[in-house]
Structure 1
Amino acid sequence: MHSELPEITTAWVKASMQPLYKKKIIKEQVGTRTVTKTKGIFNKISFEAEEAVYESKEEWVPTGQYSDTEINIEEFSSNINKICQELAASGYKVTQIIPINSGRYKYEYKEVGSRERILGNTEAITGGGYGYGYGYGITDGVIIVGELRV
């Protein structure tokens, strides 16, 4: 008997980057209080009024930007599990999960510059060379390989 499904299948699961957060101070009204106020310069009149009472709280809020060094591992793990469950429901056994990695780097280079000094017959040298450099690897995603169960 010949099945319409391929004997071997693969699925790509992309790793999304971790969202960045910043600390924000939020003022939240927690109640009211009655205060006595006065108005007028010469004929002062006192009256009572309700005034809002606020409390400051620190809260981490998303910036709308994403990290270039950290993946969102919770979402990535959930997506891998979802694909594995879909493969199993379609009659496949997951045989391999292959990570796909890439490299990132950054550096700063400054050209050598010089200028004549105001006093004397010498010149000032500025810049030149690499200020810093680094590199690192990051997981872009995984390839999941499934084999059809017989």
Structure 2
Amino acid sequence: MPEVSGGGTGASTTAHEIPELTEIRVGTYIFNDMNCVSGGWATLDDCAMSVMATVVSRPTADRAILDSGSKTLAADRVNDGHGHIREYPEARIYKLNEEHGFVDLSACERKPRIGEQVRIVPVHTCVVSNLHFQLHGVRDGVVEREWPVAARGLVR
């Protein structure tokens, strides 16, 4: 029997309905991300990857600047934002340049301070993984593991 391969995390919930498939390859499924949340395939609690960012500026009362831009978070958008800040769920990362994320805090009751670290659930974990040399396994604020991203930059 020839291999008939299907892919895409969104298809993981319906692949059993395609009898011709002999395998399924779902990349984002291991981490989940904001695309998965938006598509209804995962919840925020299912999202295992976060990017740590630091608030480096507060130019106005309702804005913050993060040290993570498109070189860290990738340029993907979903639901009018570039990721979900776990500590400030009402915040919106509305713009990225290469090195910085621009955050609208106008809907937040509590607002971050300069120097505060935040965890961002990325829009697209596949791309974010490829932008970094290592992933860190963190539990209770302690780095327990470091994994090299073996295929980083090897897209041809």
Which of the pair is proportionally richer in helix? 2
Fold-level match, TM-score > 0.5? no
Q: Which of structures 1 and 2 has the larger relative contact order (alpha carbons within 8 angstroms, sep 6+)?
A: 1
Shorter-chain TM-score tier:
under 0.3
Rg comparison, structure with higher value: 1
* TM-score, length of structure 2 as denominator length: 0.19
Output the TM-score relative to the length of structure 1.
0.19
Structure with a larger share of its residues in strand:
1
